[in-house]
Amino acid sequence: MSGFSTRAIKAATTAPKVDQIPSSVPIYQAAAFSTADAAELGDVLTGAIPGYAYSRIDNPTTAALGDAVAALEGAEAGLAFATGMAAIHATIVSVVRAGQTIVATKAVYGTTRDLLVRILSGLGIATEFVDPRDPAAVDAALARTGAPILYVETISNPTIVVSDLAALATVAHSHGALLLVDNTFASPYGCRPIELGADLVMHSATKYISGHGDVLAGAVVGSRDRIAAIRPILIDVGGALAPLAAFLVLRGLPTLAIRMERHTQTALELAAWLAGQDGVERVHYPGLPSDPSHEVAVRQLHVFGGMLAFELTGGREAGRAFLDAMMVAERTASLGAVRTITTAPPSTTHRQLDAAALREAGIAPGLLRCSVGLEDVEDLRADFELGLAAARAATS
């Protein structure tokens, strides 16, 4: 008979036999998977046969999330990452090489801009920023630089500009460039960029895909060949998503459509109300007929989404007073959760940008970004009334 420690290890690590189909994807909380023999281990690690050996390379729960996002986006394949930024980084460097230039939208998430301007520039990769609403400028930038990618956001962070993805895909492909799209703000329910001509689509799955604000994750989807080119970067750089985190994101996916419909309904009511309030200089929401992105949004989006922004006439001081007065909305930098989240981009999501860069990106000093949650709209409106009253008092 074997010793106690040997028996304890075997008893605690022997998986139960399950013949029935579970109602949710199991959490394969294992760092490694054993094989029948050395030959099988070698074949799994080299990809000669399907299987699992080490969870940094692949894990069943994590793989299920990548497949699920791909299915919702209408893509051939997908990969899950530890964060959205890990997915964006791996996707970009799978295509671009030192000495090349990226053409990217001016209105882009602050950390993405920092990746482009600070990190990738140190590796010999330049970035030229353009207004995605100006096809002639995009065309000229791609022609001048020979850029291998055009990088945009379906709905820009934080100015809520909706890019015409079909038109941009045509321009990018005419120059032999790939269209890379961050679809986080729209979600796969709101927009499917692959169907509009995009080549690779990324998500911070932390946001709407998960929907509950309790997990970090990212994803990228595209053709099998493009995803195969990204996989080695995921493995070697170490951006693997933990299986428990993958399970939590998968838990949120079944309610994505219901949540996005509610987010949109409330955001539209709140945006229309804000547009008529004293102290509000401008509201950015594509569901408003007066919004410059409305025509593109109607053609491209299934729902307008839960993200809106508005500019206060009193600048940063008004913004601080507004945020400090709120009782329902959270003051933090994330989005896409059941709770409403309001933030001042110049000091949070786009804190890396100086005054000139903020102006170039179209971010006004008094801009506030709101991720509208699932609370009752009457409660949110009352909360925003508190914020507006405080903003007016602070700047009167």
Is the CB of residue 100 less than 8 Å from the CB of residue 146? yes
Spatial CB neighbours of 262, under 8 Å, sequence gap ≥ 6: 374
Is the CB of residue 58 less than 8 Å from the CB of residue 52? yes
Per DSSP (E only), the strands in the chain are 77-81, 101-105, 126-130, 149-153, 178-182, 200-204, 218-222, 280-284, 307-312, 330-331, 341-343, 367-371
Q: CA-CA distance, 185 to 209, in Å (whole number)? A: 10
Q: Are strands 101-105 and 149-153 parallel, antiparallel or unpaired?
A: parallel
Residue closest to 79 by CA, chosen among 195, 266, 239: 239
Q: Catalytic residue numbers?
A: 56, 109, 182, 207
Spatial CB neighbours of 38, under 8 Å, sequence gap ≥ 6: none
Is the CB of residue 241 less than 8 Å from the CB of residue 65? yes
- Amino acid (one-letter) located at 385: E
Q: Based on the number of CB atoms within 10 Å of its own CB, is 356 exposed (0-12), middle (13-18) or buried (19 or more)?
A: exposed
